[in-house]
Amino acid sequence: MTASTAAGCAAPDQAAPLPASLDLEKETVITGVVRDAAGEPVTGAYVRLLDSTDEFTAEVVTSSAGQFRFFAAPGTWRLRALSRHGNGDLIVTASRGINEAIVPVAVD
Protein backbone atom coordinates (compact mmCIF):
# COMPACT_ATOMS: atom_id res chain seq x y z
CA MET A 1 0.00 0.00 0.00
CA THR A 2 1.29 3.45 -0.84
CA ALA A 3 0.05 6.65 0.79
CA SER A 4 -3.62 5.92 1.04
CA THR A 5 -6.64 5.91 3.26
CA ALA A 6 -4.66 4.45 6.11
CA ALA A 7 -2.00 7.12 5.80
CA GLY A 8 -4.34 9.77 7.14
CA CYS A 9 -3.81 13.44 6.61
CA ALA A 10 -0.70 14.23 8.60
CA ALA A 11 2.08 15.82 6.64
CA PRO A 12 4.68 13.30 5.59
CA ASP A 13 8.42 13.89 5.86
CA GLN A 14 9.16 16.62 3.34
CA ALA A 15 12.72 15.43 2.73
CA ALA A 16 11.80 11.83 1.93
CA PRO A 17 12.24 10.68 -1.68
CA LEU A 18 9.10 10.45 -3.79
CA PRO A 19 7.51 7.00 -3.40
CA ALA A 20 8.63 4.66 -6.20
CA SER A 21 5.00 3.76 -6.87
CA LEU A 22 4.10 7.37 -7.60
CA ASP A 23 2.80 7.82 -11.13
CA LEU A 24 4.14 11.13 -12.43
CA GLU A 25 1.97 10.74 -15.52
CA LYS A 26 -0.96 11.33 -13.17
CA GLU A 27 0.40 13.33 -10.24
CA THR A 28 1.09 17.07 -10.29
CA VAL A 29 3.88 17.55 -7.78
CA ILE A 30 4.73 21.07 -6.59
CA THR A 31 8.00 21.00 -4.72
CA GLY A 32 10.69 23.45 -3.72
CA VAL A 33 12.55 25.27 -1.01
CA VAL A 34 11.76 28.22 1.27
CA ARG A 35 14.69 30.64 1.45
CA ASP A 36 15.29 33.69 3.64
CA ALA A 37 16.59 37.09 2.48
CA ALA A 38 20.18 35.79 2.58
CA GLY A 39 19.23 32.83 0.38
CA GLU A 40 19.53 30.31 3.22
CA PRO A 41 16.95 27.51 3.40
CA VAL A 42 14.37 28.01 6.15
CA THR A 43 13.62 24.95 8.23
CA GLY A 44 10.33 24.65 10.07
CA ALA A 45 8.48 27.12 7.83
CA TYR A 46 4.78 26.52 7.31
CA VAL A 47 3.98 26.38 3.59
CA ARG A 48 0.34 26.72 2.60
CA LEU A 49 -1.02 25.76 -0.83
CA LEU A 50 -3.93 28.02 -1.80
CA ASP A 51 -6.11 27.45 -4.84
CA SER A 52 -6.96 29.98 -7.54
CA THR A 53 -9.70 31.46 -5.32
CA ASP A 54 -7.18 31.74 -2.46
CA GLU A 55 -8.87 28.93 -0.55
CA PHE A 56 -6.62 26.74 1.61
CA THR A 57 -5.81 23.35 0.11
CA ALA A 58 -2.93 21.99 2.15
CA GLU A 59 -0.10 22.89 4.48
CA VAL A 60 3.26 21.29 5.24
CA VAL A 61 6.27 22.13 7.40
CA THR A 62 9.63 22.45 5.63
CA SER A 63 12.41 19.93 6.23
CA SER A 64 15.83 20.76 7.67
CA ALA A 65 16.85 21.73 4.10
CA GLY A 66 13.81 24.01 3.75
CA GLN A 67 12.00 21.62 1.39
CA PHE A 68 8.26 21.26 0.84
CA ARG A 69 6.12 19.15 -1.47
CA PHE A 70 2.48 19.03 -2.55
CA PHE A 71 0.43 16.67 -4.70
CA ALA A 72 -1.93 19.02 -6.51
CA ALA A 73 -3.64 19.21 -9.89
CA PRO A 74 -2.72 21.16 -13.02
CA GLY A 75 -3.56 24.85 -12.66
CA THR A 76 -2.60 28.04 -10.86
CA TRP A 77 -1.77 27.88 -7.17
CA ARG A 78 -0.43 30.26 -4.56
CA LEU A 79 2.30 29.15 -2.16
CA ARG A 80 2.26 31.08 1.10
CA ALA A 81 5.13 30.58 3.54
CA LEU A 82 4.99 31.58 7.23
CA SER A 83 8.14 31.57 9.33
CA ARG A 84 9.87 33.28 12.22
CA HIS A 85 11.99 35.01 9.56
CA GLY A 86 8.92 36.51 7.94
CA ASN A 87 6.38 35.46 5.36
CA GLY A 88 6.36 35.19 1.58
CA ASP A 89 4.18 34.35 -1.43
CA LEU A 90 4.69 32.82 -4.85
CA ILE A 91 2.19 32.11 -7.63
CA VAL A 92 2.90 28.89 -9.53
CA THR A 93 1.33 27.47 -12.65
CA ALA A 94 1.63 23.73 -12.35
CA SER A 95 1.31 20.97 -14.92
CA ARG A 96 1.56 17.18 -14.59
CA GLY A 97 4.91 15.93 -13.38
CA ILE A 98 7.28 17.77 -11.08
CA ASN A 99 7.02 21.56 -10.70
CA GLU A 100 9.80 23.28 -8.75
CA ALA A 101 9.47 26.57 -6.87
CA ILE A 102 11.54 28.71 -4.54
CA VAL A 103 9.51 30.73 -2.04
CA PRO A 104 11.40 33.71 -0.62
CA VAL A 105 10.51 34.92 2.86
CA ALA A 106 11.57 38.14 4.48
CA VAL A 107 10.76 40.02 7.65
CA ASP A 108 7.57 41.98 6.95
Partner 1 sequence: MSRDTALVSADWAEKNLETRGVVFVEVDEDTSAYDTGHLPGAIKLDWKTDLQDQVRRDFVNKDQFAALLSERGIANDDTVVLYGGNNNWFAAYAYWYFALYGHREVRLLDGGRKKWELDARPLTTEVVSRPATRYVAQESDHTIRAFRDEVVAAIGTKNLVDVRSPDEYAGRLLAPAHLPQEQAQRAGHVPTAISVPWSKAANEDGTFKSDQELREIYAAAGLDDSRETIAYCRIGERSSHTWFVLQELLGHRNVKNYDGSWTEYGSLVGVPVALGDEPGEK
CB 36 → partner 1: shortest distance, Å? 15
Q: Give CA–CA dist 79/91, Å, rounded.
A: 6
Concatenating the DSSP letter of every residue in 55-88 gives -EEEEEE--TT-EEEEEE-SEEEEEEEEETTEEE
Q: Which of 34, 49, 92, 101 binds partner 1 (CB under 8 A)?
A: 49
Among 49, 28, 48, 50, smallest CA distance to 99 is for: 28
How far the first Cα of the chain sits from its last, in Å, is: 43
Residue 41, interface with partner 1 (CB under 8 A)? no
Q: Which of 34, 60, 79, 101 binds partner 1 (CB under 8 A)?
A: 60
Q: Which of 73, 91, 106, 107 binds partner 1 (CB under 8 A)?
A: 73
Residue 55, interface with partner 1 (CB under 8 A)? yes
Contacts with partner 1 by CB under 8 A lie at 2-5, 7-13, 19, 22-23, 26-27, 44, 46, 48-49, 51, 53, 55-61, 69-73, 80, 82-84
